[in-house]
A and B are shown apart, each in its own frame.
Chain A
Amino acid sequence: MEMSLLFLYNELGGMNKGFDVIDHTADVGIIAYGADIKEIFSNAALALFSLITEPESIENKFHLDLELSSEDIESLLIEWLNELIYLFDVKHVLFNHFDIGSLTDNDLKATCYGEHFDTEKHTMKVEVKAATYHMLKLDKSDDGFKAQVILDI
């Protein structure tokens, strides 16, 4: 599938586009869309795992509860993605479904669903080092919210 033309089924809005992957010379960017900020967090996480492997190949075999806090909502988004990158690197877990329980400008509670990375089953795409603050944007647009994050790969 063409990276920049990835579409994902969006549970709330039917076939709305959940995210786009954008080019950045040394790295790669993601744009997450959502009717609210919770959806932005969920779609940004889906975009991240779509870079690591094919998200359709991930099954919901277990869940993990996460609680995070940060200074502001943009930093919290970076914190969230970096937490998922950390979990993949250390625990080799892949997620493709996220319930964002509660979200304020500073705190996030979420449940992530997925399974362990399996070389037989999951293709390896890229190694994501970190989510960066570079060109970080989280804005309200005409039809909801939009966030842009550049990942270092």
Chain B
Amino acid sequence: MSDKLEKYLEEIGHYLSDDGPGREEILSEIRSHILEKVDDAGGRGDEAVLEKVIAEYGSARRVAERYQEGQEIIAPSYRRHLFRYTALLFAAHFIFALLGVVFHDSFTVFPVLFVPKMGIFDLFMYLPMAFLADLGFVALILYFVTRSKKDVKLPWPKFSVDLDQVAAQAKPALWSEPAGYIIGTLAMLALTVAAVVIYSRYGTIFLFSRHGTDFRPFITPEAGRYLSLILIGAWGFGTLATAARIFIRSPWINVISNVVSLAVVRLFLRVPLDEVLIYPINEPLRAIAKNGLLALFLFIALMVTIDLIKNLVMLGKRKLAAERSGRPRP
């Protein structure tokens, strides 16, 4: 009969933070209590009674947690510091990672920061891990502060917008002057139409002219067609998205626009941009052109990604703010 009890106690022991004698004493006391209660219920040797008594005692995890109340890993008063400090550290980490990519070099600020040599795509793999490492580092510091049991007043940098401010500003942030969107739509439409006209005439929109006449393509016909169609598609979508903002007040338009923009950048990066030029250029210039274009697309992709994350987070926060205030979400 005690197999079930021992299994239950083993499970409690698994969740307890006490070690050695402390843990054994806790488990012995619980064992003694449960057996006495089973006897009291006249159920010695009765599996069903034992199971009932164990169930009444509570889940192993919950029981173990009761012994750890008041022993928080990070004190509640420092919880906000955890998030704010992580954000600050990650921002610094992010800047160093960008510098690492641009200068193709590694950076070390022991023990807080290590940025290895990496390329653009490595960067996207690296950043989530960097975030987790930063969170862990800040958590460790706050753990030691909590364990010290001292009233340490940590600095509180204030840069961000709080939840209540977001809720209050939600409407104005969503909607600006319709006239701006109308002008924007007309400009985007003009750009798209001009691109379509040029493309239908020359088979590409990548043209140059030395004297304002006699326009000639400066990239290969195949790449010219491919890149022109991508750009025309992107501008066409931009026109529709800007026009939609005149009539529809939804942050989802921004999110969809961000996703489309990222897709466009990805399609552009599939083309070896230093090999599509028709006219021969010397090697140093080719390297500059290649790295310059790569840096440009990296910058665009990062800006769009940041904007996308911001829009998604703002959507979540607005939903939460609306739920808390009982208002329907915008």
Are A and B subunits of one complex? no
